[in-house]
Amino acid sequence: MEKIDLIQSVVLKISDLETNKGQIKGLAKNPRFIRDDRYNKLKRSIEESPEMIALRECLVFPYGGKYVIIGGNMRYRAQKELGYTEIVCKIIPPDTPVEALQAYTIKDNSGFGEWDMDALANDWSPEDLANWGVDFDFIEDAAQSEADRKEEKAIRKLVDDFIIPPFSILNTRGKEWQERHKQWVDLGIKSELGREDGITFAKTSQPPIYYQTKNQLAEQFGRKPTHEEIIEELHNKGIEEQKSVSIFDPVLTEISYRWFNVKRGRILDPFAGGSVRGIVAAKLGMQYVGNDLRTEQIIADIQNAKECLFDFDTDKLPIYTTGDSQQIDEILKIENITPQFDMIFSCPPYADLEVYSDRPNDLSNMDYQQFISAYRIIIEKSCKMLKNNRFAVFVVGDIRDKKGVYRNFVGDTIKAFTDCGLQYYNHLILVNQINSLAIRIRRKFQASRKAGKTHQNVLAFYKGEPEEMPAMFEQINMKKAIEQFNKSRENTEIHEEVICFYKGNISDINKEFGNVISDDNPETKVSGNTDTNLE
């Protein structure tokens, strides 16, 4: 190691010193500054511990008959204001090259180390740290940064173990979800096939380009264009109409099977709908039995399953049956299908929100009370075929009546299962894509205060005793599963529910509350009644 020449401390008159203002050729002015609050803390620190100024000298360089401060500009200023006439310094040799002076200037102000946040929190007084000039904004930022890194690492581990972290919020907008969704769709899943012509979801469920075209045509025609005219114009632009049927999410299907089914477990789906749930089950080595009222739907499902699972043996393909699921037990008996299942998984019709066919025994054509009666029968018969110590998972969403009031379909579903003796075990929130809702919600919310719905409810019920669960379910081990979820299949809850009720006539909401208007101030103005205006 090269020998280091030690520089002795000297005491210099403060009048012989000057700050680095860039007067030395090749050396920029001191880049360090200190804010008033921290500068005041520095002065107070010197007053309380004056011996420190002898332990940490200012670095100075002889130049033009003065000593230019290379390190310690703020301490010099503070001591000068406190009335000091002399300062302890170390004089840098006059033959030191300017490149070295540049390095000293920066290195003297650089903190190569990092705070040990746990040690600071546990072993040091916050008041003392603040008085000694420790930057708490920096500490908080660094602590938050460290916390963010730990959280990100933990979430990444959860993704490795569970595909999607087993939280009570399932975010379909996230990168991991979207990437996995694409992988499933790329297999050739066409879950929208099998719907009857003209019997689909609302035409308003269209992308923003639909509404932009609608506005352009309205200006061109001088009237409101029809849906057909808008679609024709989109086709002229080479843009395909968005399919207006709802498609079940294959990623939700996959994680539901992995989390809540046993290995190679048999799945019963009394509301089969599209092909996705059967195809995903086959890919995971699980036998799927799905029933649907409509023959054309089942034909489409079988065809799409064969396309996606072309290399599967026949006995590994999904099994589909046709008929009214109110007789699901009889249907399986006729088809010679063993009525014992390891999981029930389905997405029932949301009453009349989405129309699946014009058949009178189709649940989507019934009034709500008729629908619930039939719905409860289907759930009861399905639960009787579910083995003990197994899960039933339904994907549902609340629906409004013709007045716009929620029917509490989620609550009715929970009651139907608990009345069958199952235990209400997990309630997950599936956050859906916004799509055109961002355009449609403005008028709807201003008129009625109805929030735009961008989620569904994933309800998990358990048949049996929860304490027996670890023995029944293998660990989810894409790498290694975390302890809590493998012991109990309980999803970590990270959400709360805000439930809103209204007393009065719903049609008077806008009259009573007016339109919501936000300005640049923290306060929110509400137009309408003058007594509700905050300004």
Cα 289 to Cα 327: distance, rounded to the nearest angstrom:
15
Cα 410 to Cα 73: distance, rounded to the nearest angstrom:
68
Domain tally for the chain?
5
Same domain, 417 and 313: yes
- Residue 245 covered by a domain: no
At 533 the pLDDT is 34
Residue 108 · residue 79 · CB < 8 Å? no
Same domain, 276 and 388: yes
- Residue 284 covered by a domain: yes
Same domain, 97 and 122: no
- Residue 4 covered by a domain: no
Question: Cα–Cα distances in Å, from 140 out to 53, 63, 115, 153, 439?
Answer: 28, 41, 11, 20, 39
% of the chain residues with pLDDT over 90:
36
Phi, psi of 371 (to 5 degrees): -60, -50
Same domain, 428 and 507: no
Question: What pTM, to 2 d.p., does this model score?
Answer: 0.58
At 172 the pLDDT is 87
Same domain, 26 and 59: yes
Same domain, 224 and 284: no
Which residues are CB-neighbours of 290 under 8 A, at least 6 positions away?
A: 269, 272, 277, 278, 301, 318, 319, 320, 321
The mean predicted confidence, pLDDT, of the chain is: 78
Cα 430 to Cα 347: distance, rounded to the nearest angstrom:
13
Same domain, 228 and 285: no
Within a 10 A sphere around the Cβ of 274, how many other Cβ atoms?
25
Lowest-confidence region among 90-94, 288-292, 463-467: 463-467
pLDDT at position 4 over 70: no
Rg (CA), the chain: 35
Instruction: State pLDDT tens for residues 376-408.
Output: 999 999 999 999 989 999 999 888 888 888 889
Same domain, 395 and 523: no
Cα 372 to Cα 239: distance, rounded to the nearest angstrom:
40
Q: Three-class SS string for 254-276?
A: HHHHHHHCCCCCCEEECCCCCCH
H helix runs in 96-167, sequence order: 98-107, 117-123, 126-131, 136-162
Higher pLDDT, 198 or 461: 461
Residue 277 · residue 345 · CB < 8 Å? yes
Same domain, 335 and 304: yes
Phi, psi of 330 (to 5 degrees): -70, -40
- Residue 329 covered by a domain: yes
pLDDT at position 226 over 90: no
Parent domain of 90: 9-107
* Mean pLDDT across 35-55: 82
- Residue 255 covered by a domain: no
- Residue 173 covered by a domain: no
Question: Residue 513: which pLDDT band, with cuts at 50, 70 and 90?
Answer: low
Q: Exposed/middle/buried for 201, CB within 10 Å: 0-12, 13-18, 19+?
A: middle
Same domain, 211 and 96: no
Kindly provide the residue ranges of all beta strands, DSSP E only, lying in 406-454, ordered along the sequence.
423-431
Phi, psi of 269 (to 5 degrees): -125, 100
CATH of the domain at 426: 3.40.50.150
The residue among 370, 57, 356 whose CA lies nearest residue 198 is 356
At 316 the pLDDT is 94
Cα 38 to Cα 20: distance, rounded to the nearest angstrom:
20
Instruction: State pLDDT tens for residues 431-455.
Output: 887 666 666 677 777 777 778 778 8
Within a 10 A sphere around the Cβ of 293, how many other Cβ atoms?
21
329 three-state secondary structure: helix
Question: Residue 79: which pLDDT band, with cuts at 50, 70 and 90?
Answer: very high
- Residue 78 covered by a domain: yes
Within a 10 A sphere around the Cβ of 33, how many other Cβ atoms?
9
What are the DSSP calls for 393-410, one per residue? EEEE---B-TTS-B--HH
Instruction: State pLDDT tens for residues 155-190.
Output: 566 556 667 778 888 888 888 888 888 888 888 887
pLDDT at position 12 over 60: yes
Question: Residue 135: which pLDDT band, with cuts at 50, 70 and 90?
Answer: low
In the listed set 397, 432, 467, which residue is the last one of a domain according to the structure? Answer: 432
At 532 the pLDDT is 34
Same domain, 376 and 512: no
pLDDT at position 199 over 50: no
* Mean pLDDT across 483-504: 57
- Residue 224 covered by a domain: yes
Question: Cα–Cα distances in Å, from 300 out to 297, 303, 427?
Answer: 5, 5, 32
Q: Exposed/middle/buried for 368, CB within 10 Å: 0-12, 13-18, 19+?
A: middle
Same domain, 186 and 208: no
Instruction: State pLDDT tens for residues 329-370.
Output: 999 999 999 999 999 999 998 765 555 556 666 666 678 899
